[in-house]
Amino acid sequence: NAGVTQTPKFRVLKTGQSMTLLCAQDMNHEYMYWYRQDPGMGLRLIHYSVGEGTTAKGEVPDGYNVSRLKKQNFLLGLESAAPSQTSVYFCASSYIEEDTGELFFGEGSRLTVL
C-alpha cells in the first residue's frame, strides 16, 4: 500500500522556469492538500481540494496553481518560479467522514529555485 506518493522528490529550477509537482494517493480519499514547510514557520497550506474537480486557496496561494482532474491525483504548478518558493512541499490527503483532522502525508518534495 503506497499511501501518498509525491514526484519528483528533488528539483532545482532557475528563476522564471515552470514545473509541476504530482501527488498521488491510493486510499480513495476525498480531501487533498498541498503544504509548504520552511524553517521556523511550520507548515503552511497553499491550496486544497475537497473532491474531484474542486480546488480552493489556502493561506499562501500566490504564485501557485493546482488541479484535481482525477480523485487520486492533485497537481501543484509553479508558472514562474521565484527564489522565495524554495521550500519543501508536502502533499496530504484525508477522509471526508469525521472532521477529525487526520492527514496522511507524502515524504515531501524539496524544491530549490536559483
In the complex, which residues of this chain contact another protein (CB under 8 A)?
Answer: 4, 31, 33, 35, 40-45, 48, 50, 58-59, 90, 92, 94-95, 99-103, 105-108
Least separation in angstroms between residue 9's CB and another protein is: 10
Judged by CB, which is closer to another protein: 58, or 77?
Answer: 58
Least separation in angstroms between residue 65's CB and another protein is: 19
Question: 105 is written with which cell numbers?
Answer: 502525508
Question: 7 is written with which cell numbers?
Answer: 514526484
Give the E-state strand segments of 8-82 in sequence order. Answer: 10-13, 19-25, 31-38, 42-49, 56-57, 65-67, 73-78
